Structure 1
Amino acid sequence: MNRRRFLTTSGSAALALTSGASASLPLPAAAQNRPRQPSQLKLGCQSAPTTDEHLGYLARYGVRHICGYPRIGDPGGNRVYPTVDELSSMRDLAEKHRIEILCVGPHILESSYINNEKHPAIMLAQSPERDRDIEGFQNLIRNCARTGLPSIKYNMSILGVLRSGTQPGRGDELDKVWKLSEAHPDTPLTIAGPVDADAFWERITYFLDRVVPVANEYKIRLACHPQDPGVPPEGYQGVDRVLGTVDGLKRFITIRESSYHGLNFCQGTVSEMLADPKEQIYDVIRYFGERNKIFNVHFRNIRGHRNDFVEVFPDEGDVDMVRALHVYREVGYQYMLMPDHVPTAALDPHGLQSFAFCYGYIRGLMQSADYAV
């Protein structure tokens, strides 16, 4: 487009946007005669906390569905699950902002480093403590059902989220980096000690054997996040991250097969597992999506590949996010697309501006896809 035509078109667009509150730009000619086919995709977010202030921020940017984090009124910190009243209070607060809570984040099985976990027994296979914490998770399932909250996300991680540093991104942002060749853990092992694949699968299976039947009974979806990032089979800090490969995730969903047992599908983390994510990620989405095993999506992007990548804004990574969104539609995915791991900057240390950018980006893709063939 030449400069004169650009200015003329820009001026017409500005006039259309300012000529009245209801004015809008016309659709392209090819789309004008094409019926809008809205999908069931929902713009969502899992950022915390679920407070009046943060809910107001989310509502400001058109986020109407979220993962919520209930407060637990237990000064001693021994109760790991919220009561029905505590869940209802969180739900009511969100509804005040016209936001619906579609997922709940528990106070155990988070993505944090095991040495920092207040309740590590499930992942350490410590009995009888892990049975007590599993009972707490079962109570969370029951209380979510009684409160009308349909899903719970969780992690089965010992190492948390591994990154080796940061590097400058566009503008004044900082992007997080993982280069396995440059990663140097603070200690050779965590408090978990060596955990090979067999030991890790035992801990996963022990948990699923006890919670999936309760999820079936109460019809609550359990969404597990992959391990971020994957590491070589010999492990990192003595830990073989079995949920850090696509084959591992395929095995995971077959343990206690159930329509309520699936994935908190982090597209960024799964991309980090692949040798060529810009070509491979779409078939992975199809594999789990066609089996109805995707319960949430962290819709984020990376540049790079397994063992060497940088986290970036969704519009500047290797994965074609437009194509990815169409695959989610193709497989009938109907839950949230959420930003995750956004870049930060000195003037935006908590990433609120970055999240706002991602909300608009995802909303725009969703709306444009409604008119696509």
Structure 2
Amino acid sequence: MRMVFRWFGEGNDTVTLEQIKQIPGVEGIVWALHDLPAGEEWPMERILEVKELADRHGLNIDVVESVNVHEEIKLGRPGRDKYIENYKRTIEKLGKVGVKVICYNFMPVFDWIRTDLFKELEDGSTAMFYEHAKIANMNPAELVRRMNENPELTLPGWEPERLQYLSTMLEAYKDVTEEQLWDNLKYFLEQVIPVAEANGIKMAIHPDDPPWSVFGLPRIITNQENIRRFLNLVDHPNNCITLCSGSLGANPENDVAAMVREFANRIPFAHIRNVRVYENGDFIETSHRAQDGSVDICDVVKAFHENGFTGYCRPDHGRHIWGEVSRPGYGLYDRALGIMYLWGIWDSLERGKRRNGNDRDQ
């Protein structure tokens, strides 16, 4: 397991590279050019700027999250080919600087969705919260307004320039079915996977967050069956998934550890976090500790260990603790605690493996 840490760039993150470097076992950053609109080709000089900064701190830039997919591609419109060509050229450039994994998603209009970015937990910390009934009765424009109340720190997937045409986009998806979205995803994969292979990059799709339809929009990367279908759309070792325990774990019917065990050879990147799911469909993000949420993080890590996982892993969203002011879900303290919890599980499994091996030798 290779530990990495999401970083939003110089001047766009409350966490510094110096701080990231001091977290035990972290060897790289998970990054992107967040200010570039979806569909735009990434300039090589901007990519090299990030590499130089990371190199200066002894951190790799092996994982990019995300190279966003333009809505024309998801909608299957005639203009998609132009944006796919831009995507291919970006893949080629990222391959030249040693990127190994590109995480992306195929969620229409919205990425992850929450109704409260700072919901208070019993211990006084705050975390991101999803209220099921509120989403069912909320105008999407109101949600966008809430998510962008603090313009100083952009939220990934909620960039104002992406959502300024919200009503137009919602109208465009009104008649798009899940099957059509599957077809459009297959078209995209058939174009980009050969380029990814040629450049030594694994394309790793992120599950839908939450893993069900929101505002009537189709969502397809939601459960074990659909992930299996996705991997078979283009059955190629470079067509992979980002296994996110928090996104998938928001649905209690999803057995995340079982997914790790089935898809292990197609998971180059993992997001590990916990969520507490309530009977009414609400959920809140918790500490990484298994006892604090509904996802058995111990078994998830064990599943990775059993399969000899050598891919990249990052602690996903953390709580806001100890008075830290940060981008929602992306402070330093709780994510660093999460890393140490994950390492604790992993190191215990490693020690048990060595001990069992020595017992057999005797």
Which residue of 2 is the match for residue 146 of structure 1?
Answer: 96
Residue matched to 2:16 = 54
TM norm structure 2: 0.78
- Counterpart position of 1:368: 348
Q: Distance in 1 between matches of 2:245 and 2:214?
A: 22
Give 1:191 shift.
Answer: 4.3
2:309 is the counterpart of 1:349: no
Query: Residues 81 and 56 of structure 1: is their aligned pair in 2 closer, same or farther, counting only changes over 3 Å?
Result: farther
Q: CA deviation digits over 1:285-340, x for unaligned, max 9?
A: 10111xx1111110101122794322111112233322221210111221122111
Residue 285 of structure 1: aligned partner: 260
Match of 2:284 among 300, 310, 323: 310
Aligned equivalents of 1:137, 1:79: Cα separation in 2: 7
Contact 1:103 1:152 in 2 (8 A): yes
| Structure 2 residue aligned with 1:218 | 199
Q: Distance in 2 between matches of 1:78 and 1:168?
A: 33
Cα distance 1:207–1:283, how it changes in 2: closer, same or farther (>3 A)? same
Change in 2 beyond 3 A, CA 1:142/1:196 = same
Equivalence for 1:11 = none
Larger gyration radius, structure 1 or structure 2: 1
Gaps of 5+ in 1: 1-40, 110-118
Counterpart CA distance in 2 for 1:310 and 1:274 is 13
Does 1:132 pair with 2:82? yes
- Matching residue's letter, 1:252: F
Contact in 1 for aligned 2:301/2:342 (Cα 8 Å): no
Partners in 2 of 1:324 and 1:60 — Cα distance? 26
Greater shift in the superposed pair: 61-70 or 44-53: 44-53
Whether the aligned pair in 1 keeps the contact of 2:29 and 2:63 (CA below 8 Å) is: yes
Once residues 269 and 71 of structure 1 are traced to their aligned partners in structure 2, the CA distance between those partners, rounded to angstroms, is: 21
Secondary structure of the structure 1 residue equivalent to 2:40? coil
Q: What percentage of aligned pairs have identical amino acids?
A: 22
Conserved 8 A contact 2:38-2:68 = no
Residue 141 of structure 1: how far off its partner (Å): 1.3
Following superposition, the deviation at residue 50 of structure 1 comes to 5.6
User: Equivalent residue of 1:344, what SS?
Assistant: coil
Report 1:166-245 matches (<5 A): 167-183=119-135, 184-187=137-140, 190-194=170-174, 195-231=176-212, 235-245=213-223
Looking at structure 2, the residues matched to 344 and 330 of structure 1 have their Cα atoms a distance apart, in angstroms, of 32
Task: Flag the 1:349–1:244 CA change in 2: closer, same or farther, 3 A.
Answer: farther
Deviation at 1:135, TM superposition (A): 0.9
Conserved 8 A contact 1:301-1:312: yes
Q: Is the 8 A contact 1:80 1:107 kept in 2?
A: no
Counterpart-to-counterpart distance in 2, 1:367 and 1:222: 28
Deviation of 1:163 after TM superposition, in Å, equals: 2.1
Structure 2 CA distance, aligned partners of 1:327 and 1:172? 32
How many pairs are equivalent? 312
Q: Deviations over 1:68-98 (max 9, x none)?
A: 22478x8xx6972324443233222212111
Q: Which residue of 2 aligns with 1:89?
A: 49
Q: Aligned residue for 2:73? A: 122
Mark the runs of 5 or more structure 2 residues left unpaired by the alignment: 142-166, 354-362
- Structure 1 counterpart of 2:356: none
Return closer, same or farther for 1:167/1:333 CA change in 2, 3 Å cut-off. same
Matched to 2:71, the amino acid is P
CA distance 1:191–1:349, shift in 2 (3 Å): farther
**TM-score where L is the length of structure 1:** 0.76
Q: Aligned to 2:242, which of 264, 289, 304?
A: 264
CA distance in 2, matches of 1:250, 1:141: 25
Q: Provide Cα deviations, 1:340-366, integer angstroms capped at 9, x if missing partner.
A: 121225822312222222232223333
1:156, distance to aligned residue in structure 2 (A): 0.7
Contact 2:67/2:102 (CA < 8 Å) preserved in 1? no
In structure 2, how many angstroms separate the alpha carbons of the residues matched to 1:287 and 1:352?
Answer: 32
Instruction: Give me the whole-angstrom Cα distance separating, in 2, the residues matched to 1:122 and 1:149.
Output: 23
Q: Aligned runs of 1:247-262 on 2, under 5 Å?
A: 247-262=225-240
